[in-house]
């Protein structure tokens, strides 16, 4: 099922949430959190495509305070802790938070919705925020990014990944430039609602919330991925149909 949003007639490029349609605050991943862990732990898209890209953008995290926003089952947190980071994280799904706690006993995890202010995180207290594969589920992304900007230290960085907008458009068609919420059922039977939005929208949301883009990666699968799934490896090595990863830094101006 897919619905269209009103076409934007605004002259200002400052992005605003379209409350006419929304993903909402239901914890969509909660019912299949354990299955997601199985899927993402060694699976092609997460282990061989998204995580290597975001971890590369995060760089050396040893001794750093890293906030894993929408931490899922703790796969990133586990790797960040192994690299010497002090990890805190949160997720909308209570089961995901349990899985993170089991996986990373030294981490600090809680249930929290990105739609709410991070009032338990002090200003300028975090070296890096990771926002992996969740942007598309958040309705008011500007408010969320503003909060993430607030908690980052001036020399910190936000690393995010999202579905590649070109791939989204190739799959769903319609007007590439028009953000809209779609609903679909994934191959494992997971019913998902999420935003499609052009690359420009993500860049403008980052600009509007005080970030400068430092790097944009269109990841390719790792060499090891060729043995995991040769057909997918071949396809994602030439097509922009997977994910996109961005490193953005607080704009000092």
Ligand X SMILES: C[S@@+](CC[C@H](N)C(=O)[O-])C[C@H]1O[C@@H](n2cnc3c(N)ncnc32)[C@H](O)[C@@H]1O
Contact positions toward ligand X, by CB under 6 A? Answer: 27, 29, 40, 46, 70-72, 75-76, 91-93, 96, 113-115, 132-134, 137-138
How far is the C-alpha of 64 from the C-alpha of 147, rounded, in Å? 19
Q: How far is the CB of 204 from ligand X (least distance, A)?
A: 20
How far is the C-alpha of 118 from the C-alpha of 111, rounded, in Å? 11
**Residue 138 phi/psi, 5° resolution?**
-105, 130
CA angle 90, 220, 190 (to 5 degrees): 45
Q: How far is the CB of 9 from ligand X (least distance, A)?
A: 28
Indicate the residue among 137 and 211 with the shorter CB distance to ligand X: 137
Indicate the residue among 233 and 243 with the shorter CB distance to ligand X: 243
Indicate the residue among 9 and 187 with the shorter CB distance to ligand X: 187
**Tokens found for residue 243:** 């994910």
Question: In the bound complex, which residue of the shown chain has the CB atom lying closest to ligand X?
Answer: 72
**Tokens found for residue 245:** 């990863």
Look at the block and give the residue holding tokens 């997977």: 242
* CA 95 from centroid of its chain's CA atoms: 18
Q: How far is the CB of 86 from ligand X (least distance, A)?
A: 18
Indicate the residue among 51 and 86 with the shorter CB distance to ligand X: 51
Q: How far is the CB of 206 from ligand X (least distance, A)?
A: 18
Residue among 25, 48, 82, 40 at smallest CA distance from 237 = 48
Indicate the residue among 113 and 251 with the shorter CB distance to ligand X: 113
Burial track 49-83 (b if 16+ CB lie within 10 A, e otherwise): bbbbbbbebbeebeebbbbbbbbbbbbbbbbbbeb
Q: How far is the CB of 161 from ligand X (least distance, A)?
A: 7
In the chain, % helix, strand, coil (3-state, to 5) comes to 35, 25, 40
Query: Residue 185 in 3-state DSSP?
Result: strand
Indicate the residue among 96 and 181 with the shorter CB distance to ligand X: 96
Q: How far is the CB of 30 from ligand X (least distance, A)?
A: 7
Indicate the residue among 31 and 212 with the shorter CB distance to ligand X: 31
Give Dmax over CA atoms of the chain in angstroms: 49
Q: How far is the CB of 114 from ligand X (least distance, A)?
A: 4
């Amino acid at each position: 099922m897919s619905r269209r949003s009103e076409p934007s007639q605004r002259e200002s490029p400052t992005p605003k949430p379209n409350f006419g349609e929304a993903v909402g605050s239901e914890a969509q991943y909660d019912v299949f959190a354990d299955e997601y862990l199985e899927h993402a732990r060694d699976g092609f898209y997460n282990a061989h495509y998204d995580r290597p890209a975001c971890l590369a953008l995060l760089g050396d995290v040893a001794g750093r305070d890293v906030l894993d926003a929408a931490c899922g089952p703790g796969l990133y947190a586990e790797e960040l802790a192994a690299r010497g980071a002090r990890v805190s994280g949160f997720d909308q799904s209570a089961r995901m938070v349990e899985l993170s706690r089991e996986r990373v006993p030294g981490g600090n995890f809680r249930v929290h919705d990105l739609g709410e202010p991070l009032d338990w995180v002090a200003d300028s207290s975090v070296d890096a925020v990771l926002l992996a594969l969740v942007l598309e589920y958040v309705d008011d992304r500007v408010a969320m990014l503003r909060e993430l900007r607030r908690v980052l230290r001036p020399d910190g960085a936000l690393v995010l990944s999202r579905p590649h907008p070109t791939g989204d458009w190739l799959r769903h068609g319609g007007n590439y430039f028009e953000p809209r919420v779609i609903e679909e059922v994934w191959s494992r039977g997971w019913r998902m609602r999420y935003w499609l939005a052009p690359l420009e929208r993500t860049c403008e949301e980052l600009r509007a919330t005080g970030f400068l883009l430092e790097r944009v990666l269109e990841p390719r699968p790792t060499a090891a991925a060729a043995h995991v799934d040769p057909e997918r490896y071949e396809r994602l090595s030439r097509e922009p149909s997977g994910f996109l990863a961005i490193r953005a830094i607080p704009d000092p101006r």
